[in-house]
Amino acid sequence: MQLLLATSNEHKLIECGEMLALHGIEVVGLDSLDGSYEEPIEDADTFAGNARLKALAYAKATGKRCMADDSGLSVDVLGGKPGVYSARFAGVGTTREERDSANNALLLSKLQHTSESERSARFVCAMCVADPDGTVVGESEGTFEGVITLEPRGTNGFGYDPLLYVQDAQKTSAEMTSDEKNARSHRGEAVRNIIFCFGQ
């Protein structure tokens, strides 16, 4: 079975692809499609709302069953920010790497006078699977708890991975192998919670 994942983010494709391959599902991204599709405006105020919006829009536009996610970082002392604005928190950068670097720098600057005990945070991932006829087949959510480090650590992953320290693993998300991360991450939990959509 083939599933369209509504993203051009290679890291998300790899993460989801590895997990869904275990269930016989091949994941393809937007870059694999013939033609281009207008990207829906993600204007919902929740991760779940944005995931649903994207899944429905791309399923209808492509005629394919589509899975979409919206994910980000929620920092308690910042009232849940950057939240749904995680990818564009700093508002600068033309490449994903430049945006990630600017977002991480801005987050660290906002937390520079915050003690370690006040740096609790989590990644949140909401997923939605939709069919071309507008049916929402399933929705799920996962979280990945940790604390924000004082400086980036590790080179695996993307986004805020170098900053989220997972205490029971004693490493950041970016220091984990893909197997370690998939077993406990927000996206891994969301995928495990939505696999029922595929008769698994």
Which range, of 31-35, 46-50, 126-130, 139-143, averages the lowest pLDDT?
31-35
pLDDT over 90 at 15, yes or no: no
Query: Residue 10 CA to chain centroid, in angstroms?
Result: 12
- Peptide bond preceding 40 in cis form (omega within 30 of 0): no
Instruction: Kindly report which listed range (74-78, 154-158, 193-197) carries the lowest average pLDDT score.
Output: 193-197
pLDDT tens readout for residues 171-198: 999 999 988 988 888 988 999 999 887 7
Predicted local distance difference test score (pLDDT) of residue 32:
86
Annotated catalytic, 131? no
Domain covering 2-198 in this structure, CATH number: 3.90.950.10
Number of Cβ atoms within 10 Å of the Cβ of 144: 23
Tell me what pLDDT residue 134 has: 97
Tokens of 12: 């998300």
Q: Backbone phi, then psi, for 48, in 5-degree steps?
A: -60, -40
Q: CA-to-CA distance for 84 and 123, rounded, in angstroms? A: 11
How much is the pLDDT for 116? 85
When pLDDT is averaged across residues 157-171 and rounded to a whole number, the result is 94
Alpha helices in the chain (DSSP H): 10-21, 47-62, 96-110, 178-184, 186-194
Catalytic residue, chosen from 70, 100, 131, 168, is: 70
Asked if 155 and 164 touch (Cβ cutoff 8 Å), the reply is: no
pLDDT given at position 65: 94
Region of residue 116 (phi > 0: left; psi between -120 and 50: alpha; otherwise: beta) = alpha
pLDDT of 26-45, one tens digit each?
A: 999 998 887 778 888 889 99
When pLDDT is cut at 50, 70 and 90, the band that residue 200 belongs to is low
Mean pLDDT of all residues in the chain?
92
Q: Comparing 29-43, 65-79, 112-126, 164-178, which segment has the lowest mean pLDDT?
A: 29-43
pLDDT at residue 153 tops 80: yes
Spatial contact of 13 and 27, defined as CB atoms under 8 Å apart: yes
How far apart (Å, rounded) are the C-alpha atoms in residues 172 and 104?
Answer: 14
**How many other CB atoms sit within 10 Å of the CB of residue 143?**
13
